[in-house]
Chain A
């Protein structure tokens, strides 16, 4: 059906488009090894004239204004703890609503699913005021807790649990297991792919969020990597492209490597959960 010429043409197109996606990242990495002066001067030189690691030394030296490791740590901590909270409360709630005799079940399901319609911007300022009044601005709490209210995971898992065959649970109940044991030993292991997908979605969402951590943190040490870089870009690194690129490279390399490893399960999960 498909001629060889057509396939070759498609591969050529794919390579050219692939370069558009990859070259900006390559260029960022190469610039990070230039001096600021060289990065500024106009020219088409991709490779640094003088190869230097001083931008990285500066970024890691922790001389006060770029605690980049602290920022990375914050982002990882906030992302991981936030994801664990979401996974715990969402699996519990979804299973309860899908299978157990929870009072007002129908009303709760409609309430949660209905909340998915509500744009995030509605809760932005009142949430800020809540945390401000509780004295929790510029803490890990404000960077983690708001993400836990999102009903997306409850909805995703609810649909999965409803289609899960009842026989396995019934067999466990007959063996004398209680609800909690059935949930932990029978239901959770079966839902692993969906849970994994939700984990990646949630982690990426928290890790990449920008506006919320930008307005709710103020001290240098509480910044996430995304907001820390933004603050540097608008502040003391505004005319230091090479230093800036070292900073962005440090932030990007681990994320991209993790992503390349994780994306297979992510795509498989998208398949299984039927997000379409």
Chain B
């Protein structure tokens, strides 16, 4: 047995090796390489990259540097989108799941599919559909508003409507996914709990509040964290729908990072911004996790 043990370990290692290689080349090395880039004055056109230590990070925090504005203005816009979209992504996702579950059995599958369909549409198609639905002059929605006695709304060119439009398009596009996750969780809540609740004379609202919500708490946390990360990574919707406007008020952090990297060609600065963005995302995920966990105790 012992004689063949090294041989067995070798053949077992071969199972893990292909993934380990890909992991190293396309994840581990880039992480180290990115940190290295962020410590250099890295001009894409200049073959010589001067080592500058933490100077790129210092610039992000120096209010006299343009990098300071670029980072914190972008961050402010991204955070606004996160704050507007995430509560809706969670609450509307759950509401749709409850709605589908309350339907007669024959209709459940049909409506679940209908609400899930936009998820199959790619972001550029989502942007184009909503761009032309929301167009100030010829958009369909503004054609209907006067009929309802309302004024036309500059959906994409004025604040706060630009945020409303971006959140609306994002909800339409992605909410079906959260709904499916919630439907799964709701179906797993044990029938016995509901029966016990009914015997105790709990009404529908009380049963939802005291039985359903506590039972699906882990799912809430999962949806909360994944929605937050997805909203943090927002790029396509403002890039295609508002182009960061009006002015630069929907220009999100990722757009500024891409500009700094590919328009200004300052990859060192952009790498430092990326690392800072990632750090903030990690901290927020941990806080969300801790806060939700503590509430459970």
Q: Is the CB of B122 within 8 A of A108?
A: no
Complexed CA–CA distance, A27 and B72 (Å):
39
List chain B positions with a Cβ less than 8 A from chain A: 5, 8-9, 11-13, 15-16, 18-20, 22-23, 25-27, 29-31, 33-34, 37, 96, 99-100, 102-104, 107, 111-125, 127-133, 137-138, 140, 143-144, 172, 176, 180-181, 183-185, 188, 198, 218-219, 222, 229, 232-233, 235-236, 239-240, 254, 257-258, 261-262, 267, 270-271, 274-275, 277-278, 281-282, 285
Q: Is the CB of A210 within 8 A of B235?
A: yes
Contacts of A146 in B (CB 8 A): 26
With beta carbons under 8 angstroms apart, the residue of B20, B103, B137, B274 that contacts A93 is B20
Q: Is the CB of B129 within 8 A of A108?
A: no
Q: Is the CB of B113 within 8 A of A276?
A: no
Q: Is the CB of B121 within 8 A of A101?
A: no
For B270, give the chain A residue with the smallest CB separation. Answer: A125
For B253, give the chain A residue with the smallest CB separation. Answer: A121
Query: Which one, A57-65, A188-196, A245-253, is touching chain B?
Result: A245-253
Complexed CA–CA distance, A276 and B218 (Å):
6
* Contact flag A179-B19 (CB < 8 Å), given A126-B33, A126-B37, A258-B120: no
* Contact flag A259-B117 (CB < 8 Å), given A123-B34, A125-B37, A127-B26: yes
Complexed CA–CA distance, A258 and B37 (Å):
42
Interface of chain A, helix or strand or loop or mixed?
helix
Query: Which one, A48-56, A162-170, A226-234, is touching chain B?
Result: A226-234
A172 an interface residue at 8 Å Cβ cutoff? no
Q: Which one of A96, A115, A117, A260 has the highest number of Cβ atoms from chain B below 10 Å of its Cβ?
A: A96
For A43, give the chain B residue with the smallest CB separation. Answer: B143
Contacts of B172 in A (CB 8 A): 20-21, 24
List chain A positions with a Cβ less than 8 A from chain B: 1-2, 6-7, 10-11, 13-14, 17-18, 20-22, 24-25, 27-28, 31, 39-44, 85, 88-90, 92-93, 95-97, 100-103, 108, 112, 115, 117-130, 145-146, 148-151, 154, 179-180, 183, 204, 207-208, 210-211, 215, 225-227, 229-230, 233-234, 241, 244-245, 248, 251-252, 255-256, 258-260, 263, 266-267, 270-271, 275-276
Contacts of A180 in B (CB 8 A): 11
Contacts of A27 in B (CB 8 A): 129, 133, 140
Complexed CA–CA distance, A114 and B254 (Å):
24
Q: Is the CB of B128 within 8 A of A211?
A: no
With beta carbons under 8 angstroms apart, the residue of A18, A95, A258 that contacts B111 is A18
* Contact flag A25-B27 (CB < 8 Å), given A93-B15, A125-B37, A211-B254: no
For A211, give the chain B residue with the smallest CB separation. Answer: B235
A143 to chain B, nearest CB (A): 13
Listed A/B pairs (24) with beta-carbon separation below 8 Å: A10-B102, A13-B99, A14-B103, A20-B172, A21-B117, A24-B133, A44-B143, A92-B15, A112-B23, A117-B282, A118-B31, A122-B31, A123-B27, A125-B34, A125-B267, A179-B12, A179-B15, A226-B124, A229-B124, A248-B125, A248-B129, A258-B120, A260-B113, A270-B180
B217 to chain A, nearest CB (A): 10
Complexed CA–CA distance, A185 and B19 (Å):
21
Q: Which one of A20, A123, A204 has the highest number of Cβ atoms from chain B below 10 Å of its Cβ?
A: A123
With beta carbons under 8 angstroms apart, the residue of A43, A95, A149 that contacts B27 is A149
Q: Is the CB of B129 within 8 A of A148?
A: no
For A97, give the chain B residue with the smallest CB separation. Answer: B16
Q: Is the CB of B219 within 8 A of A276?
A: yes
